[in-house]
Structure 1
Amino acid sequence: MDKMLYIAASGASQDFLGTAVRANNLANAQTNGFKAQLEQARAMPAYGEGLPTRVFAITESPTNNYASGAMIQTDRPLDVAIQGDGWFAVQDANGQEAYSRNGSFELGPDGQLKDSFGRSIIGDGGPLVLPIPLSNINIASDGTISVRPQGAPETVLEEIGRLKLVNPEVRDLERGQDGLFRRTDGQLATEDAVVYVRTGMLEGSNVNPVEEMVNMINLQRHYEMQVKLMKQAEDLDMRGNQLLRII
């Protein structure tokens, strides 16, 4: 009964963790540029003194689904989507460089270019700051940003910077608690000249809501099965104690 209870309790706790991963994916089904987390469960031996008579379950998120999401046309000049592979460089809450696919940009009152979460967008020389006021902005396919200063002729465009577009190997990336990606070795990714963007477009989430719902239902049913096993172990233990009293 001890083995049965241990295995069932271990599996039930990991079902909770798997459900949390799937629930997070569902919650971000409408988040621009979101990459779905993958999860899997496997058995692990319990190390320590004595014989290896116990195993426990472990739920892990070994990687992410890096496929591109659907392209959404907005015709907004500050909406930018990466074509194919690549990432935008942004500044996280600690002022460090991280990477995102969210191309929904906004212009702050001080002219700083930020994403929809308020994170500064990084360019060639650091966070991008546009001259204020301006009457027009254009982001080329290579990430070059040009503006027409207020009052200048329509034919006058002034280049003010370029988005830092990178394309590190996905096996070298890990997702942080803030949803941003960083290199596992702590190094900064270098700019990649072959990463291109499309203006007036946004990349949607690559989460498949139906698939995530099915996986959540399966995890919940598996959890219920583990609870029944724990109840069965309790019943067997009680009957065993009753037999001992008779003897």
Structure 2
Amino acid sequence: MSFYISLSGLKAAQTDLSTTSNNVANVGSNGFKRSQAHFGDIFAAAPMQTTTQVSGQGVRVLGISQQFTQGTLEQTSKSLDLAITGDGFFTVKGADGTVSYTRNGSFAVDDDRYAVDATGARIQIFAVNPSTGALVTPPTNATTPAALTDLVIPTTLNGVANGPQLNSVGVSKEGLVSAIYADGSTVYLGQVAMASFNSLEGLRQQGNAHWTSTVASGEPILGTANQGMYGALETGMLERSNVDITEELVSLISAQRNFQANAKAIEAANTLSTTIVNMRS
């Protein structure tokens, strides 16, 4: 039995090592959230058995959860680089129509003048009045991603050929996107849609710092930045990984020691078994 107990400890330590190694590997990934492995003991006894005379039967992995804490902010000075200070996610839509959520606010303009992230997914916005910036339809908890639109940044005023050229693009702390043209005109293009969830731990990882909603996470609750449960937007900045390299290195050492200890336990059990076999022979 001790072989299997120690084997479960080896597997648990290996999972801990893999989780920590993944955190360290992504220390430079924008919007990445570190993961943490959770373990529980295995115990079994007959209903009439005295549990004080029964040792445990090993350990098992209960799950690997992500820690959605704030990462540090890095200044880039690019007008479409956005960072969230507080809770919330950007809502983006891929080329296949899949809606996902991210904290990586590194956006740029593609050939069709859509604002996209590094994966080519288009950032989603609420429609606003081009002149005043007022929301056409104020978001509520019943709003679905289908009510959102893609952010388009025309190179000329109102997209008219030979019209005044685009000078600059700005994003306020509330996520209101404005474009200033050569003739001094200001046009409001939309307001960045923010998403929140009842259970962040229920989100499904998709890679590239993207998550999708599940039954466990609940449907997204959409709103605007710097309002209620949503954090403010910082333009010209990016949120880096929330991995603390010093903490991860300590975790690596701890997991390595656990692995070595379980290996020693297997070695000791093997020595005892060999001794008993030799005594019988």
Q: TM-score, normalised by structure 1?
A: 0.84
1:147 maps onto 2:147 in alignment? no
Question: Contact (CA 8 Å) 2:34, 2:242: kept in 1 or not?
Answer: yes
Aligned to 1:228: 264
1:107 maps onto 2:109 in alignment? yes
1:147-179 Cα shifts (integer Å, max 9, x gaps): 245xx41x2122222211123344564241424
Aligned to 1:90: 92
Aligned to 2:70: 68
Aligned to 2:18: 20
1:189 maps onto 2:225 in alignment? no
1:180 maps onto 2:182 in alignment? no
Change (3 A) 1:61 1:242: same
In the TM superposition, what is the alpha-carbon distance from 1:55 to its structure 2 partner?
2.4
Aligned residues: 238
Change (3 A) 1:20 1:114: same
1:126-162 Cα shifts (integer Å, max 9, x gaps): 332332464421112211222245xx41x21222222
**For 1:20-59, what aligned pairs fall within 5 Å after superposition?**
20-45=18-43, 55-59=57-61
Q: How far apart in 2 are the matches of 1:38 and 1:132? A: 45
RMSD: 2.6
Aligned with residue 206 of structure 1, among 242, 247, 268:
242
1:41-87 Cα shifts (integer Å, max 9, x gaps): 2213469xxx9976231224453322211222222101111122221
Code of the aligned partner of 1:161: G
Q: How far apart in 1 are the matches of 2:116 and 2:44? A: 47
1:120 maps onto 2:122 in alignment? yes
Code of the aligned partner of 2:24: L
User: Identity over aligned residues, as a percent?
Assistant: 28
SS in 1 for 2:272: helix
Code of the aligned partner of 1:117: T
Q: How far apart in 2 are the matches of 1:148 and 1:88? A: 24
Question: Contact (CA 8 Å) 1:173, 1:182: kept in 2 or not?
Answer: no
Code of the aligned partner of 2:33: K
Q: How far apart in 2 are the matches of 1:92 and 1:220? A: 40
Question: Contact (CA 8 Å) 2:41, 2:56: kept in 1 or not?
Answer: no
* Ranges in structure 2 where 5+ consecutive residues have no aligned partner: 127-147, 157-165
Question: Contact (CA 8 Å) 1:80, 1:104: kept in 2 or not?
Answer: yes
In the TM superposition, what is the alpha-carbon distance from 1:189 to its structure 2 partner?
2.6
SS in 2 for 1:225: helix
In the TM superposition, what is the alpha-carbon distance from 1:202 to its structure 2 partner?
1.5
1:175-211 Cα shifts (integer Å, max 9, x gaps): 4142423444252332245132111122222110010
Aligned to 2:169: 137
In the TM superposition, what is the alpha-carbon distance from 1:13 to its structure 2 partner?
1.0
* Ranges in structure 1 where 5+ consecutive residues have no aligned partner: none
SS in 2 for 1:11: helix
Q: How far apart in 2 are the matches of 1:120 and 1:9? A: 47
Q: How far apart in 1 are the matches of 2:83 and 2:188? A: 20
Q: How far apart in 1 are the matches of 2:204 and 2:246? A: 23
Q: How far apart in 1 are the matches of 2:178 and 2:200? A: 34
Which stretch shows the higher mean deviation, 31-40 or 100-109? 31-40
Which stretch shows the higher mean deviation, 228-237 or 122-131? 122-131
Which stretch shows the higher mean deviation, 188-197 or 22-31? 188-197
